[in-house]
Structures are given as structure tokens and as C-alpha cells.
Amino acid sequence: MTVQDAAVPQTEVQDYRNNSLLFLTFRRLFRQRNAQVGMVILGFLVLVAIFAPALAPYDPDRSLIGIEPVEKRAGPCIHALGCPSDQPQHIMGVDGNVRDQYSRIIYGTRISLFIGFSTIGLAVVVGTLIGAVSGYVGGWVDNVIMRFMDVILAFPSFLLAIAIITVLGRGLQNALYAIAVVNIPVFARLVRSSVLSIKELEFVAASRSLGASPLRILFVRILPNAIPTLIVQATLSIGAAILEAAALSFLGLGAQPPLAEWGTMLGSERNQVFTSPHLVFFPGIAIMITVLAFNLLGDGFRDAMDPRLAQLTKR
Amino acid sequence: MLQYIVRRLLLTIPVLLGILVVTFLIARAIPGDPCRSALGERATDAACEAFNRRMGLDQPVPVQLAIYMRQILLEGDFGDSIRYSRPVSLLLIERLPVTLELGVSALLIAILVGIPAGILSAVRRNSKVDVAAMVGANIGVSMPVYWLGLMLAYVFSIYLKDTPLWLPPSGRLTAGVIATPFYRVWDLSIAPGTVGAQVADFLSNLVLFNSLITGQWNVFSDGIKHLILPTVALSTIPLAIIARITRSSMLDVLGAEYVRTARAKGLRERAVVLKHALRNALLPIITVVGLQTGTLFAGAVLTETIFSFSGVGRALFDAITGRDYPVIQAFTVVIAIGYVAINLIVDICYAFIDPRIKIE
């Protein structure tokens, strides 16, 4: 044992470990400007979500009627910008039910991040299982599964999500299922093509000849290779999922009032846009910043995974 | 080339049949009672029975499917809307032109602005223009369409009120502005109820087209004014995505050796970029343009809601939530046919651009 240990220089071992695709990807990722901006915004949003109770000056769901002398749909009042100091401060104004909009936006961060991670998390898990089975088993199983995925992909995903919600019923939970379902085919295809390209390689054959079970080969030998591509696609999909969930809520199909969800807030005040634009403006900005963070991060991941592209776009 | 197009057309037939069956089944999977949805929650059982018999809903599902396929394929009849008690084809003739004008103009803007912006970005890589364009594109893809629509409506119809930049916040035409169909203007006698009459109605519902060919300039300018804001809102995401793919595709090609050769033989930069590079960068761009027409459709539901357009997107949304089976079926079929047609056009474009591509 000791002789063998001495025979392999320590530094070489480390170099080898540091050359894994995942490690290199992350190293390049941290050097990308897009990804840096995305990570900073995302980190900020996560902090906001965690410390929402400390950051929000008011209860997001409680009306201020009888508590403060403030009018329905009052515009923003910021003391530092010249709003009289005898008036209560509401930096994003007050909504149609006399609730502090700033507090609602802050609590909305929790819901939107949850929507993004839970829908795409579910889609990744189910999609990976479907794609792995389809690619590994092959034959008619593969054919049937993939044609079914093609059918799902053939419809515009937003309309399909609307149809699924009509079947399941309105509400945030069903909207989450709908968005997860329309995202499954993307991940299934990704994992399937990854499995197909790897399963005939020699190290898999070696593993098989050593007597590893099919499940072990699939989950321990093959699937880890698909993780980098999955991360890229998942990051980009989270942004899209948040956007779609907000749109569903905006149409009244997703989260229902009084929940402080940005799309619902926008939808319930949309007819007031001409008189109280702040009630539409701020939730939209919040959605945009969150989606932007995930898109920047996803783009950064993709560029970091592709060394050729990384060379080309190096600043 | 002609042979390629014909074979490609034949390949779409099984796809279209599949779409007919799938949309029929999807519409039936939506739970709820179409009768109570049409006649009201308190309709009596007897009234519902009569209603179901009249609409053919009392038959077993396979029989319904057979009747439905026969009607569509042999008679071109999509049935009557349960909610509006009118032929679905009439609804389509009214609604489809609205969405077509909106979608086509949004796609045109996305292509005409997105591709040049992407080329400029790629040619002046890492310049201020490039950074600005790509920051703009990143923000563009992250924006909720309906939010942008509402904000545009606020800025242009309230904030800029009483200025020449004022634009109307909703509707297809100002109330009171009535477009006379071209066949009335020209005194064409078309027998009502015929296919010709339906086509004529369809064409005359394309507001801009109808007013342009008949010279109704007040209608035309009113129609344009109402179309600007929805078009801008709807085109944002496709525009941003097209600009990004154009940039990355051009960057790929501009590094190729034949581009260096073209430069080396002394061609002007303009010719190198537009003739040699762009042509080879076009394939991924066309793919993305094709895919974006699908997202345009989802955007149309939201845009039509914001700007009170009675188009296909809004009608389909209302039909799904109101369980209006014939409308859901017909409109989904129309959308799917649109999808298939776009794919067909994209494939034909491929073959034109890259002669190596032939059907397998």
C-alpha cells in the first residue's frame, strides 16, 4: 500500500481531479461576466427571500384600513425623496386592498423562486427517468415514449399549460404541475441522447463485464455524464418557468388572490394601469429581474461548458 | 426542387390527421359539462338532454370522432360553437385575420430589426454597440409580454396624451370607424354562403389589407395606430432571441477560413459579411425564426387580452375555459396547421439555402 502511494506523486493526482468537466466548467463560469452578474442578482434574491420577514415593513396580506391614514392605491411615498415625513412611508405605494406593495413584492420573491425551482426540479427528475429508461432500454419502449414526448412538444407550451390547468382546475399547485409537465420532454430528450451516446462506450462495457447491474450502470456510470448539460438547460428553463407561471397567474389560472404572487398582483390591478401605474410597474420589474438572473446564469453555464465558444467570446 | 416540395407536402398529411384526432381527444379530456357551461348552471336535466342530443354529445366518443372526421374532411364543416350558437367557421373568418395581422407584423419587426442588430453585434464584437445590443436582448427575453404591453399602453395613451405620439390603448379600430369590405366598394356580386363569399369575408377582415387595396386611408391609418403597441409588445421576445442567435451564428462563421479567403482576395467588408458570411449563418437563424412563430402564438393570447383584440388567441382561451368543444377543436387544428405550414416553409428555405439538404 505504502509503496503504491509513494509511486503516485500527490500533485498529479490533484491535477487529474481538477480537470473534471464539472470543475473546469465552474472555474470558467466564475470568470464570465454574464454569469457573475446573474449570480450576484440571484444571491441577492435568495437573501431577500430568506430574510423577507425582516425586510418587509408590513404584513403582506393585511389591509392597512384602520391602522394607518393611507388611501387605496396611493402612489409611492418615500421620505428621502420629499414625501412629507408625517405620512407613512410606502416606497412602492399601496394596492387596491390597501396593502403595502413593497412588502408584497418582497414576499413574492419566495413564491417565485419556489415556483422556478419546484417546477423545473420535478421536470428534471421525471424527464431524467423517462429519458434514461427510453435511451437505455431502446426498441419499441423508446419509440413509444419519444413519440409521446413529440406530441407534447408539438403544441405551444403555454397553450398546453392552459389546457392542463383546465383539466386539473385553477390554482397555484395545479399551475406548477402544468408547467412541470410541459417541461418534461425537453429533459427527457436531453438525457436520452446523452445515454445513447455513452452507453456503447468502453467504460460502460467494462462495468458491465465486471457484473454491475443495469441500474448501477445507468445511475452510477452513465447518468453523471449528463449532469452538466442538465444544469445548463435547467437554469435556462427556470427563468422561462417563472415567466410562464406569472403569465398563468396574470390570466387568473395560477396563484389566486390574496397570495402575494407577482403575476397575480399584476393581473388583479391591470385595469388600474392608467390611474395607478405603480401597481403594475413594480411587480413586472420584479419578474423581469428574477428571470434575467436565471437567464444570465444559464447563458454563462452554456458558454463555460463550450470551450470553443468561451474562447470566441472572451472579453 | 419541385419534387422535394411535393414530397414534403405529402409527408404533412399523416401529421395533420394525427392532429385532428389528438385535438378531438384533448377537447374531450377537459372536464366539466358543456351544457351547463352554455345554458347556465341551473339548466334542467331535460333541457340538457335535448341540448346534448342536438349537439351530438349523447353519442359514444368513437362515434363522435367518426362524425367529426367525416364533417371536417368531406364537408369542411367544423360544427357550431356551443357558446355562441354560430358556425365555428364564421368565428374563424372573424378572428383569424386579427391574429394574422398582429402575428405577421410582429414577426416582420422581429426579423427586420433582430437580424441586422445581430449582424452588427457580431461584426463589432465587444464594442459598445455589441454590449448595448446584447444587454437589450437579455432584458428583452426576460420581460413579461403583458407587462410590457400595459406599460406601453400607459406611456403612449396617458403619459403622451395630447401629443402627436399618442396611440390608442385598446381595440382594433376606433369606435365609429367602419371599414367597408372591398367587394362592396367595388360592387362585386358574390353569392352569400359560398366558399367564395367566405374567402372574400376573410380577406376583408384583414383590416390593413382591405383598406389599403380600396384606398380607405382613414381606416388604414387608424388600423396601423391600433396595431403599433400590440405589435411592439408581441415582437420583443422573438426579436431578442433572433438577435442573439444571429450574433452567435455570425461569430461562428466569421472565424471560418473561407471568410479569411474572401477577405484575402480583397473583397469589400460589406460583401464578405453580407454575401459570404450571412448566407452560411442563416440556417440556425431560420430554425429559430420558425420556432419563435410558436411562441408568438402564446404571446398572442396575452397581447390580445391586454389590448382587447378579438383574435384567435383570446377566443381559444375563452373556449378552453368555457368548454366550447367545437371551437377548441377547430382553433387548435388551425394553430397546428399553422405550425406545420411554418415547418414546411422552414424546410423549403433550408433546401434553397443549402442545396446539400434533400429529403431522406
Interface test with A, best of B16, B147, B292, B317 (most A CBs within 10 A): B147
For residue B29, list chain A residues with Cβ-Cβ distance below 8 A.
167
Does residue A274 sit at the B interface (CB-CB below 8 Å)?
yes
Chain B residue closest in CA terms to A170: B321
For residue A292, list chain B residues with Cβ-Cβ distance below 8 A.
138-139, 142
Give the pLDDT confidence of A262-281 residue by residue, as tens digits.
999 999 888 888 888 999 99
For residue B295, list chain A residues with Cβ-Cβ distance below 8 A.
156, 158
Tell me, what's the pLDDT at A18?
60
Give the pLDDT confidence of B255-291 residue by residue, as tens digits.
888 888 888 988 888 888 888 888 888 888 888 888 8
Give the pLDDT confidence of A202-227 residue by residue, as tens digits.
888 888 888 888 888 888 888 888 88
Distance of alpha carbon B230 from alpha carbon B167, whole angstroms: 11
DSSP-H helix ranges across chain B: 2-29, 34-39, 45-55, 61-70, 88-123, 128-142, 145-154, 182-185, 195-204, 207-214, 217-254, 257-264, 269-271, 278-306, 312-322, 325-353
| Angle between helix B278-306 and B312-322 (nearest 10) | 50
A28-42, A175-189, A243-257, B122-136: the lowest-pLDDT one: A28-42
| pLDDT of A85 over the 50 cut | yes
| pLDDT of A11 over the 60 cut | no
- pLDDT level of residue A19 (50, 70, 90 thresholds): low
| pLDDT of A7 over the 70 cut | no
How many other CB atoms are there within 10 angstroms of residue A80's CB atom? 8
Give the pLDDT confidence of A138-178 residue by residue, as tens digits.
889 988 888 778 777 767 788 888 888 877 888 999 999 99
- pLDDT level of residue A33 (50, 70, 90 thresholds): confident
Taking CA atoms, B174 is separated from A192, B177, B222, B231, in Å, by: 53, 6, 7, 17
With a CB-CB cutoff of 8 Å, which residues 224-263 of chain B face chain A?
Answer: 248, 251-252, 255
For residue B144, list chain A residues with Cβ-Cβ distance below 8 A.
243, 246-247, 250, 263, 266, 284, 287-288
| CATH of the domain spanning B96-174+227-359 | 1.10.3720.10
| pLDDT of A189 over the 70 cut | yes
When the pLDDT of each residue in chain A is averaged and rounded to a whole number, the result is 85
Taking CA atoms, B224 is separated from B38, B106, B215, B238, B313, in Å, by: 36, 13, 14, 21, 20
Distance of alpha carbon B177 from alpha carbon B102, whole angstroms: 19
For residue B316, list chain A residues with Cβ-Cβ distance below 8 A.
159
ipTM: 0.84
C-alpha cell at B170: 385598446
How many other CB atoms are there within 10 angstroms of residue B89's CB atom? 17
Q: Write down all domains in chain A, each with its CATH number in brackets.
A: 33-54+108-263+291-314 (1.10.3720.10)
Cβ distance of A274 and B158 shorter than 8 Å: yes
Give the pLDDT confidence of A106-135 residue by residue, as tens digits.
999 999 999 999 999 999 999 999 999 999
| pLDDT of A8 over the 70 cut | no
C-alpha cell at B155: 406611456
With a CB-CB cutoff of 8 Å, which residues 156-185 of chain A face chain B?
Answer: 156-159, 162-163, 166-167
Tell me, what's the pLDDT at A1?
43
Size of interface A-B (CB pairs under 8 A): 109
For residue B302, list chain A residues with Cβ-Cβ distance below 8 A.
247, 250-251
Tell me, what's the pLDDT at B6?
84
Cβ distance of A166 and B153 shorter than 8 Å: no
Instruction: Please name the helix (run of DSSP H) or strand (run of DSSP E) that holds residue A30, with its range, or none.
Output: helix A21-31
Q: Under DSSP, is residue A239 helix (H, G, I), strand (E, B) or coil?
A: helix
Tell me, what's the pLDDT at A313?
45
Give which of A137, A237, A221, A225 is closest to A187, Cα–Cα. Answer: A237
Give which of A291, A290, A281, A284 is closest to A46, Cα–Cα. Answer: A290
Give which of A241, A261, A183 is closest to B142, Cα–Cα. Answer: A241
Tell me, what's the pLDDT at B110?
94
Domain-wise residue ranges, chain B: 96-174+227-359
* Cβ contact B340:B16 at 8 Å: yes
Distance of alpha carbon A145 from alpha carbon A138, whole angstroms: 10
Q: Please give the average per-residue pLDDT across A228-257, as a whole number.
A: 91
Q: Which residues contact A159 (CB under 8 A, 6 or more apart)?
A: B297, B298, B301, B316, B332, B335
Chain A residue closest in CA terms to B291: A156
List, for chain B, all residue ranges whose pLDDT scores fall below the cut of 70: 30-32, 357-360
A95-99, A250-254, B100-104, B192-196: the lowest-pLDDT one: B192-196
